[in-house]
């Protein structure tokens, strides 16, 4: 995290802008280990990632003050205290070994396959594999939808160098930030994920350019200064949140979100009834419809899209928007939605900014349900 990027952010708990409190270790211009303060608290920066979860942030700050950087990183990745430095095996060289294993340049050198093997001791292996193979899933490319809309709009305008701010919520590891930034100059990405390891590994293997990475809770989403964000993408994430409606309320707060911003939410498959530790259950479209119908102020309805058809068409290269719009009667979990107060959806979208090889590599879609979700509402 760079010093100049700090002024872009605010504390999502007190809504006061952040300032740099401490810098314990730098990497060039980036704060590698440090802390930021606001009106209510102080939060650690670990491996360049701002960490906002309470109360762990206090423990992490203590570790950073004692210069125990590896222990702080390890705690963020594993969320377990088994690996703390007062454990016997840690005293006998364990922490030194960990400091070597968790070094970003070492992880980059050994490659993804060995990283999965190595980190599966610290976190569930199936999750790591899922995150690392996102590029094989058609729906992962939907992060390009807001960009495709933006590029269509800018085709008609001549000036396209304006800086844009893009908030990606639930970024995972593979997220195409570099491709987005190559297709449209001057996009500052702010990447939020609840999983520190996702941000940490994404930074190593899919860094993008000057991406701001924040580990925090999506229910406290106003972590960028008001009236700044132009694009919000929420890919395969909404169904993982414990409170989708409060999340939307905070996200679409007109005091915070720019009037001409666009919001794209995707990936809510009804087949994904997996084990409890994934914590994923379907979010029916009616929840979103009801939220927008009860919302105060000027009514602007979201446009619901067929997630499967959209993903497939987007991977092929072109989307005829008319063909992917859902009617109000179709009741399904498999939807995406796009919302903007002032913009309109173009008739056609192109995903050619992703390479053909990348798009052809995406062959998977959610078809393998392992468990049936039962609820009277469905
Ligand atoms: Zn605060």
CATH of residue 232: 3.40.50.150
Read off φ and ψ for residue 222, nearest 5 degrees: -85, 60
CA of 14 to the centre of ligand 1 (A): 4
Domain boundary among 62, 90, 122: 122
Distance (Å, whole) CA 8 – CA 311: 32
Q: What is the largest CA-CA distance in the chain?
A: 65
Q: Are residues 155 and 118 in the same domain?
A: no
Give me the domain span that covers residue 39: 3-122
CA of 36 to the centre of ligand 1 (A): 10
Read off φ and ψ for residue 178, nearest 5 degrees: -60, -40
Domain boundary among 122, 156, 181: 122
Residue linked to tokens 């700050």: 61
**Chain-centre distance of CA 58, in angstroms?**
24
Distance (Å, whole) CA 273 – CA 371: 5
Q: Are residues 185 and 323 in the same domain?
A: yes
CA of 53 to the centre of ligand 1 (A): 12
Distance (Å, whole) CA 264 – CA 262: 7
| The pLDDT of residue 323 is above 60 | yes
| The pLDDT of residue 179 is above 80 | yes
- CB contact at 8 A, 364 and 271: no
- CB contact at 8 A, 213 and 50: yes
| The pLDDT of residue 83 is above 80 | no
Q: Are residues 244 and 337 in the same domain?
A: yes
Least confident interval from 250-254, 273-277, 286-290? 273-277
Q: Are residues 98 and 154 in the same domain?
A: no
Q: Are residues 326 and 190 in the same domain?
A: yes
Q: Within 10 Å of residue 264's Cβ, how many Cβ atoms?
A: 24
Least confident interval from 5-9, 99-103, 224-228? 99-103
CA of 18 to the centre of ligand 1 (A): 8
Q: Are residues 325 and 181 in the same domain?
A: yes
| The pLDDT of residue 195 is above 60 | yes
CA of 44 to the centre of ligand 1 (A): 13
Q: What is the CA radius of gyration of the chain?
A: 21
**172 within a domain of the structure (yes/no):** yes
**378 within a domain of the structure (yes/no):** no
Q: How many Cα atoms are found within 13 Å in the side-chain-facing hemisphere of 266?
A: 24
**169 within a domain of the structure (yes/no):** yes
Q: Can you give the pLDDT at residue 67? A: 96
CA of 68 to the centre of ligand 1 (A): 25
Domain boundary among 90, 122, 154: 122
CA dihedral 98→104→106→111, nearest 10 degrees, is 120
Residue linked to tokens 């606001």: 38
Q: Can you give the pLDDT at residue 258? A: 96
CA of 16 to the centre of ligand 1 (A): 6
Q: Are residues 85 and 163 in the same domain?
A: no
Residue 296's contacts (CB-CB under 8 Å, 6 or more residues apart) are none
- CB contact at 8 A, 351 and 150: no
Distance (Å, whole) CA 317 – CA 354: 9
- The protein residues having their C-beta less than 5 angstroms from ligand 1 (an ion) are 11, 13-14, 38, 40
Mean pLDDT over residues 132-161, rounded?
89
**368 within a domain of the structure (yes/no):** no
What's the token pair of residue 99? 């400091």
Q: Are residues 85 and 29 in the same domain?
A: yes
State pLDDT tens for residues 213-257. Answer: 999 999 999 999 999 999 999 998 888 888 899 999 999 999 999
**366 within a domain of the structure (yes/no):** no
Q: Are residues 222 and 356 in the same domain?
A: yes
Question: For the stretch 273-311, what's the b/e string if a residue is b when 16 or more beta carbons lie within 10 angstroms of its beta carbon?
Answer: bbeeeeebebbbbeebbebeeeeeeeeeebbbbbbbebb
**40 within a domain of the structure (yes/no):** yes
| The pLDDT of residue 373 is above 60 | no
| The pLDDT of residue 279 is above 70 | no
- Which of 117-126, 156-165, 317-326 reaches the highest mean pLDDT? 317-326
**323 within a domain of the structure (yes/no):** yes
Domain tally for the chain? 2
Q: Are residues 29 and 114 in the same domain?
A: yes
In terms of pTM, does the model score above 0.85?
Answer: yes
Residue linked to tokens 């690996």: 83
Distance (Å, whole) CA 132 – CA 114: 12
Q: How confident is the model at residue 368 (pLDDT cuts 50, 70, 90)?
A: low
Q: How confident is the model at residue 191 (pLDDT cuts 50, 70, 90)?
A: very high
- Which of 89-93, 176-180, 236-240, 365-369 reaches the highest mean pLDDT? 176-180
- CB contact at 8 A, 345 and 339: no
CA of 123 to the centre of ligand 1 (A): 30
- CB contact at 8 A, 222 and 10: yes
* Positive or negative: CA dihedral 350, 353, 354, 355: positive
**128 within a domain of the structure (yes/no):** no
More confident residue, 224 or 363: 224
Q: Are residues 71 and 150 in the same domain?
A: no
CA of 249 to the centre of ligand 1 (A): 20
The average confidence (pLDDT) of the chain is 89
- CB contact at 8 A, 266 and 227: no
Q: Are residues 104 and 36 in the same domain?
A: yes
Distance (Å, whole) CA 30 – CA 20: 12
């Amino acid at each position: 995290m760079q010093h100049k990027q700090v002024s872009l952010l605010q504390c999502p708990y007190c809504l006061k802008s952040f300032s740099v409190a401490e810098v314990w270790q730098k990497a060039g211009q980036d704060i590698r280990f440090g802390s930021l303060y606001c009106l209510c608290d102080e939060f650690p920066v670990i491996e360049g990632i701002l960490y906002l979860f309470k109360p762990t942030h206090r423990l992490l700050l203590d570790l950073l003050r004692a210069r125990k950087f590896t222990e702080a990183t390890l705690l963020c990745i594993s969320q377990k205290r088994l690996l703390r430095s007062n454990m016997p095996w840690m005293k006998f060289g364990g922490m030194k070994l960990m400091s070597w294993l968790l070094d970003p340049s070492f992880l980059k050198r050994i490659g993804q396959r060995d990283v999965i093997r190595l980190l599966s001791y610290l976190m569930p292996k199936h999750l790591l594999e899922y995150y690392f193979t996102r590029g094989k899933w058609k729906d992962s490319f939907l992060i390009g939808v807001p960009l495709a809309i933006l590029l269509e709009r800018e085709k008609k305008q001549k000036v396209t160098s304006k800086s844009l701010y893009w908030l990606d919520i639930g970024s995972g590891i593979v997220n195409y930030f570099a491709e987005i930034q190559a297709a449209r100059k001057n996009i500052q990405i702010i990447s939020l994920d609840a999983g520190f390891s996702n941000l940490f590994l994404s930074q190593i293997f899919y860094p993008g350019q000057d991406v701001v990475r924040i580990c925090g809770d999506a229910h406290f989403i106003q972590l960028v200064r008001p009236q700044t964000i132009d694009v919000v993408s929420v890919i395969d994430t909404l169904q993982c949140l414990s409170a989708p409606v409060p999340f939307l309320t905070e996200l679409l707060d007109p005091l915070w979100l720019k009037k001409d911003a666009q919001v794209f939410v995707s990936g809510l498959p009804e087949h994904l009834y997996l084990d409890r530790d994934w914590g994923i259950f379907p979010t029916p479209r009616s929840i979103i419809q009801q939220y927008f119908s009860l919302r105060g102020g000027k009514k602007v309805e979201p446009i619901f899209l067929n997630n499967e058809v959209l993903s497939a068409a987007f991977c092929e290269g072109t989307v005829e928007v008319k063909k992917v719009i859902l009617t109000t009667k179709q009741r399904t979990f498999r939807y995406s939605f796009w919302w903007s107060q002032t913009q309109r959806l173009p008739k056609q979208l192109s995903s050619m900014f992703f390479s053909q090889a990348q798009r052809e590599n995406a062959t998977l879609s959610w078809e393998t349900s392992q468990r049936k979700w039962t609820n009277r509402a469905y």
